[in-house]
């Protein structure tokens, strides 16, 4: 099967969406399919075309940036050629160019499947309102033109204004999750480098430093946590400097965080590669995902943590709460409520054994090969209809 995957950003850009797309594309290749990823050349230093782990990546030049998106004038021209050459088209939303690609799939008789990752929610300036309107319009056009839509969980679909419109052509498929198996030496070296044994318990957060991630909720919860555990520290993995569109948010929170840094209670790790992330999780006592709005649909990092026996404390957002509710490894806190977050984190730390789940079963449920098989079944059904 020749599969065309289309999305705005692909690797080496780091986000939950790009990691999902990469894992699924590689799984398709391992199962014998020919996979092409069509994306944008968001960084001019990236090659226009290359092979990455058996996946052919084609990047379309970018003429301008609009908020967190890009404008690529030749995207449609390239899409016309690639859609014609492939058997099925998989699009990752949100994506401005999705309806044009889905229309080409319709015209050429190729099934188009949308994987919907999250609702778009930009800060409420007049310009962002316009961006939200345009993206919502484009997503709805893509939804109408596509043959089918995939979402992570039914819980998220039931609460998404977008997905609820397309219930008749919707299938929940869990996201693909995998990590290298860490060596004991790598885990110990990580612990030594970050003084983990001197600063317990360790609360992990793995995200971009962005307003929707709820960093300030964890920050506001810290006094209550430190009152009971005076040596507790936060290990924050992910981009925390020069995050696109988040400078004002960073400027507001960083003075308080620097105070915790100076006392050894907060440690920014920066972006970690998969091998480093594999050593990161075993050093945690709990992971937290205190996200604030529906731009977060699941929180893949929760599953990565659970695969390493680490429980999670997410907010009660639809979809985000599902890993804990499905696997029993953690507690759910109220959205944007620092007191609830502190109480939930302390509850997990105080009764750690209560929140140990079936790690092997979790690994099987999210294995990329298993997820690729679910997509294959969907693709084959659509190609026959």
pLDDT value, residue 159:
92
Is 254 within 8 Å of 182 (Cβ atoms)?
no
> How far apart are the C-alpha atoms of 216 and 250, rounded to whole Å?
10
Bridge partner residues of 295 (DSSP): none
* Domain definitions of the chain by residue range: 2-176+367-384, 184-364
Residue 120 in contact with residue 136, Cβ under 8 Å?
yes
Q: For residues 149 and 45, what is the distance between their CA atoms, to the nearest angstrom?
A: 33
Rg from Cα positions in the chain: 21
Contact assessment for residue 94 and residue 137, using Cβ atoms and an 8 Å cutoff: no
Give me the long-range contacts of 253-257 (CB less than 8 A, separation at least 24).
253/215, 253/216, 253/219, 256/219, 257/219
- Selection from 365, 343, 382 nearest residue 153 by Cα: 365
Instruction: Quote the pLDDT of residue 118.
Output: 84
Residues of the chain with pLDDT below 50 are none
pTM of the shown model: 0.87
Q: Quote the CA–CA distance of 365 and 25 in Å, as a whole number.
A: 18
Q: How far apart are CA 300 and CA 302, in angstroms?
A: 5
| Closest CA relative to residue 69, chosen from 45, 95, 37, 102 | 95
Architecture of domain 2-176+367-384: 3-Layer(aba) Sandwich (3.40)
Cα distance between residue 153 and residue 131, in whole Å: 26
pLDDT the model gives residue 304: 96
The kind and range of the H/E element at 289 are strand 286-289
What CA–CA distance (Å, rounded) separates 317 from 153?
12
The sign of the dihedral angle between the CA atoms of 254, 255, 258, 259 is: negative
pLDDT of residue 70: 80
Q: Which residue has the tokens 């391992």?
A: 30
Q: Encoding tokens for residue 186?
A: 């790598």
Residue 321's closest CA among 298, 294, 355?
298
Of 37, 42, 345, 366, nearest to 221 by C-alpha is 345
pLDDT of residue 96: 84
Write down the pLDDT at residue 136: 80
Q: Is the domain defined by 184-364 classed in CATH 3.20.20.70?
A: no
**Residue 80 to residue 367: CA distance in whole angstroms:** 33
């Amino acid at each position: 099967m020749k599969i065309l995957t289309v999305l705005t950003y692909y690797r080496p850009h780091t986000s939950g969406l790009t990691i999902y797309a990469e894992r699924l594309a590689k799984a398709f290749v391992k199962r014998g399919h020919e996979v092409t990823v069509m994306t944008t050349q968001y960084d001019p230093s990236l090659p226009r075309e290359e092979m990455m782990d058996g996946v052919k990546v084609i990047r379309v030049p970018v003429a301008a940036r609009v908020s967190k998106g890009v404008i690529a004038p030749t995207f449609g021209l390239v899409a016309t050629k690639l859609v014609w050459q492939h058997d099925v088209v998989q699009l990752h939303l949100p994506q401005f160019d999705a309806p044009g690609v889905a229309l080409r799939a319709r015209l050429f008789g190729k099934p188009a499947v949308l994987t919907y990752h999250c609702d778009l929610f930009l800060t409420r300036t007049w310009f962002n309102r316009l961006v939200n309107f345009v993206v919502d319009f484009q997503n709805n056009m893509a939804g109408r033109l596509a043959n089918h839509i995939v979402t992570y969980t039914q819980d998220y679909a039931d609460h998404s204004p977008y997905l609820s419109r397309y219930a008749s052509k919707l299938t929940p498929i869990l996201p693909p999750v995998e990590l290298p198996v860490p060596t004991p030496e790598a885990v110990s070296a990580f612990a030594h480098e970050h003084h983990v044994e001197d600063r317990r318990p360790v609360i992990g957060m793995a995200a971009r430093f962005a307003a929707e991630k709820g960093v300030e909720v964890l920050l506001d919860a810290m006094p209550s946590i430190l009152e009971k555990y005076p040596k507790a520290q936060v290990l924050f993995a992910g981009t925390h400097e020069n995050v696109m569109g988040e400078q004002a948010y960073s400027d507001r929170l960083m003075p308080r965080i620097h105070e915790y840094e100076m006392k050894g209670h907060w440690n920014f790790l920066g972006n970690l590669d998969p091998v480093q992330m594999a050593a990161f999780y075993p050093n945690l006592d709990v992971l937290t995902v205190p996200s604030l709005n529906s731009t977060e649909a699941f929180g893949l990092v929760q599953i990565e943590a659970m695969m390493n026996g680490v429980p999670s404390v997410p907010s009660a957002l639809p979809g985000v709460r599902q890993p804990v509710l499905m696997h029993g490894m953690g507690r759910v806190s109220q959205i944007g409520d620092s007191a609830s977050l502190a109480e939930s984190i302390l509850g997990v730390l105080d009764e750690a054994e209560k929140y140990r789940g079936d790690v092997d079963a979790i690994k099987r449920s999210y294995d990329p090969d298993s997820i690729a098989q679910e997509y294959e079944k969907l693709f084959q059904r659509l190609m026959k209809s």
